[in-house]
Amino acid sequence: RPSAVSWWINRGRKDAVPPNVEVSKIKMQWWAWWNSIQPEWRRRGQDDLRSLSRAGVRGDWDGFWLPGVNGLLSVLICLVWWGREENASNTGSWISACQDVKCVVDAVHAEIRENPFVNLTISSKAN
């Protein structure tokens, strides 16, 4: 996970932006982290991470896991920091990231709604 997330957790998850957030660094770390928590069928190679948003979301979500006790909140807070620091003319990757998170949340929600007794394994294994 991005180092900024550890900084935030170690400070009690206060509403603060980590010092010296470098867009290029957080963007790269976020995409790698997001890719690593996807089900195997959805993962992409390092050079193709942005294609996750085009990888589709229909599949078995049993392998999806949200690391740590903060789970999806850590994913979202990172997007907030990235979005605050992103240059207004260079938001393509950030928008793709936000859209992909929305698609994944919608897909997991749809799977649960279709089968309320589905046994999704959303693990808390450390990253």
- What is the tens place of the pLDDT at every residue in 53-104? 555 677 777 777 776 678 888 999 999 989 888 876 678 889 889 988 998 8
Return the pLDDT at 126. 41
Q: How confident is the model at residue 123 (pLDDT cuts 50, 70, 90)?
A: very low
Long-range CB contact pairs, 57-60, < 8 A, 24+: 57/103, 57/104, 57/106, 57/107, 58/107
pTM (2 d.p.): 0.78
Name the residue range of residue 99's domain. Answer: 3-14+25-114
Any domain includes 99 = yes
Any domain includes 80 = yes
Any domain includes 34 = yes
Any domain includes 10 = yes
For the residues 25-31, what does the mean pLDDT come to? 90
Report how many domains make up the chain: 1
Tokens of 19: 């010092």
Any domain includes 122 = no
Q: Is the pLDDT of residue 124 over 50?
A: no
Closest CA to 63 of 121, 125, 4: 121
